[in-house]
A = this chain, B = another copy of it.
Amino acid sequence: MAGSKAPPTIQEVAELAGVSKSTISRYFSGFPVRNPEQIRAAVERLGYRPNSAARDLKNGRTRTVGVAVRDLADLYFARILRAIGLASSEVGFHLLVADTSLTSERLAYETLRQRADGLILCAPQLDDSELESLVDDLRPVVIVDRLAPGVRAPQVGVDFYAAMLGLIAHTMDLGHRRIAYFAGPPRSWGDRERRRAFETAKTFGAIPTILEAADSDQLDAAINTALSDGTTAILSFDDFIASSTISRLRKLDVSVPDEISVTGFDDVGYASLSNPEITTVRTPLGDLGERAWSELRALIEGAEATATSVLLPAEVVVRASVAAIAKA
């Protein structure tokens, strides 16, 4: 049996300080009171801490943001999350997080929403129509890393299309034409945007091949294909795939970038420490989070929800994993 007593209430503090509950309440809300020192002492002595459930109930808000991510242990999301956390805590908000890798997205969102004033959904996987209907009763909500036409909520993403085009241009400048795209999560918005860039690139004379590389086996197969079909540059969905690719190529004694060029995407840490250092795109994860928060904040404060979409630019970071194509 635990000897834990019930926590002190505002009433007990009031009695000890010889004033009424309201005075204590005011004291905590920063209003001037006659005898702050006395109150402070009573609070201290009792170890009183305001009960936030009661507060939230009375105030009708929780001052909490709910954020859903697919994988908390993915640096990509962790960085966005951190930015949201820092920005929102500046205005006294708390961060409630759900990792949707094991639960259904719907359920996770619903549960989060119950305890938060608003939601930020990171790269939701649901299809547009599901998302559209869900968003209606989740509101206020903002969507990150996914543009879903028809969804009446602010959507903030990164211009992957333009960034990938930049990467393609960079490789093409160096003489590459037969380029392979090592694709990421199929059907994800981020992947589709990158693919679009390859479509466009055909216009400029690129000869792209799309190869699935989201899991380990696919990656092996993709590498084999690339190695045998005359590919001279591999543009990967993200730094992780790029890193894995380079690592496997090394085992096959294929030198990067001398024999084949490889690029990453996102610049999430290992890209700059690799050997060779990976040419990639710097995805502005912090900005993404901050922007999402400011959109959500506006909504929470009563702004009308519209289908605003914001596309943040991302720049190419040239490092050492792409070289000029060897003369044929």
Chain B proximity of A119: nearest CB distance (Å): 13
Q: Tell which of A47, A52, A75 has the most Cβ of chain B within 10 Å.
A: A52
Whether B78 and A72, one on each chain, are in contact in the complex, defined by CB atoms closer than 8 angstroms, is: yes
Chain B proximity of A204: nearest CB distance (Å): 32
Number of copies: 2
Q: Specify the main secondary structure of chain A where it touches its partner.
A: mixed
A150 to B94, CA, bound (A): 31
Chain B proximity of A264: nearest CB distance (Å): 11
Interface size on A, residues (CB 8 A): 60
Residue A91 CB within 8 A of the other chain: no
Residue A57 CB within 8 A of the other chain: yes
A219 to B259, CA, bound (A): 33
Whether B2 and A49, one on each chain, are in contact in the complex, defined by CB atoms closer than 8 angstroms, is: no
Whether A111 and B82, one on each chain, are in contact in the complex, defined by CB atoms closer than 8 angstroms, is: no
Q: A residues near B, CB below 8 A?
A: 1-4, 6, 47, 49-54, 56-57, 60, 62, 64, 71-75, 78-79, 81-82, 85-86, 89, 94-99, 101-103, 110-115, 137, 243-244, 246-247, 250, 269-270, 272-275, 277, 302-304
Given A89-B98, A94-B111, list of 16 further CB < 8 A pairs? A49-B137, A52-B114, A53-B56, A57-B57, A73-B82, A75-B75, A75-B78, A78-B78, A85-B98, A85-B99, A86-B99, A94-B98, A95-B99, A246-B275, A270-B273, A273-B274
